[in-house]
Structure 1
Amino acid sequence: MTSDAIRVLVADDHTILRHALCDSLRREADIDVVAAAGDGRAAVELALQYRPDVAILDVEMPGQTVLTTVAQLNEGSPHTRTIILTMYDAPDLVQACLDQGVSGFLHKSAARGTLLSAIRATRGGDQQVTMSVSRQSLQAAPVKPLGPGALSAREVEVLGHVAAARSNRQIAKAMGIAEGTVKRHLRNIFDKLQAVSRIDAVNKAAASAILPSAAAHSSDPEYTA
């Protein structure tokens, strides 16, 4: 483990899952699991004691709501970034957590690599948000009708590459632009479409006739801005 390892707190009321997640993270040389909690109040107390870089929270824990826990972490340990890892990802909950400034909202079906990427993304100190939500959640989200001109021509081009399941790096190479520019286009697309993931953006664009509807079937459900 390196001396500048990312300090992580894990909070989940299921003991077996909590231990398994901690064991999995401890295998990474650049991640140090400094504490584990079984409920939100304990997570806040441990965060005040250990000052972790990242707190990974389950949604349904006893004692208090996850939104209360995130708010208390924001106040008591403001440098701690929060990642939500849960089986419950209704669109209203996702939006409420994003409004609280979480750095990631991941469905528990997400790949291990997605969680590791979300943890490591907090090290840069920017406002990157990692999302991975279930298809059921995306399908439940209301689609706000948008005109074909809602996105710029460049944004439509970027979204077309997203629909083809290309990574940010691949999109940058194909379009002859910097990867940071791709990320900026994606943030603008997400804001305009009120999307929470890549596939959500593609589906909403298809529903609004911005993209052909067939494109919605080839996109990856994960998004890293």
Structure 2
Amino acid sequence: MSQLSDYHRDRIQSVLGASPLIPVIAIRDPEDAIPLCRALVAGGISVLEITLRTEHGLRAIETVRSAIPEAWVGAGTVTSVEQYRQVESAGAQFVITPGVTESLLEFGVTSAVPLLPGIATVSELMMGYQHGYRAFKFFPAEVSGGVAALKSFGGPFPEVVFCPTGGIRRATAKDYLALGNVKAVGGSWLTPEDVVAQKDWAQIEDIARGSLADL
């Protein structure tokens, strides 16, 4: 079985260490990608997860990578090796999946773009652990046990760290970040659909800055 390299582990640790909050970004209008991401960066967010939940995700990764080189720009909601290859070509600096398969874990070991695999159970964590992964997305966090679950994971896996996402709100993010095994928290509250639809980039910047100040 292939094992994850120290380079991959270090890169993911760098991503998780760059920002305690990671916005889950779904681009519905391609013209929004750059101003939305610029507003988040202006508000202090330096890691951007652009998801493949819409048809504009791949192109948005390309354009934001070019326009905002100072930020970490990655791909979220990657569910297949084919998509993993596509986001590699688009210039993604990291990949986040909602769950795990053996093929994705194996591909992540060999890819130049590091993977943060999504898990919801200890069994899934152990699948990734066998391949050398020591950092995971915990998704969907709230319905999978939330803070209590992550505390329990820390017993048998003290060296594993997490980025919980799913159902987390601005008011609860700090509860997760108070845990020693949580390095960052992901959330869609940083990019409310109605605010993005109104193209109110000043409010997006305020939400980012205020959310960081709440921690």
Give your verdict on TM over 0.5.
no
Report the TM-score when normalising by structure 1: 0.36
Higher RCO (CA-CA < 8 Å; seq separation 6+)? 2
Could you say which structure has the higher helix fraction?
1
When normalised by structure 2's length, the TM-score is: 0.37
Bigger radius of gyration: 1
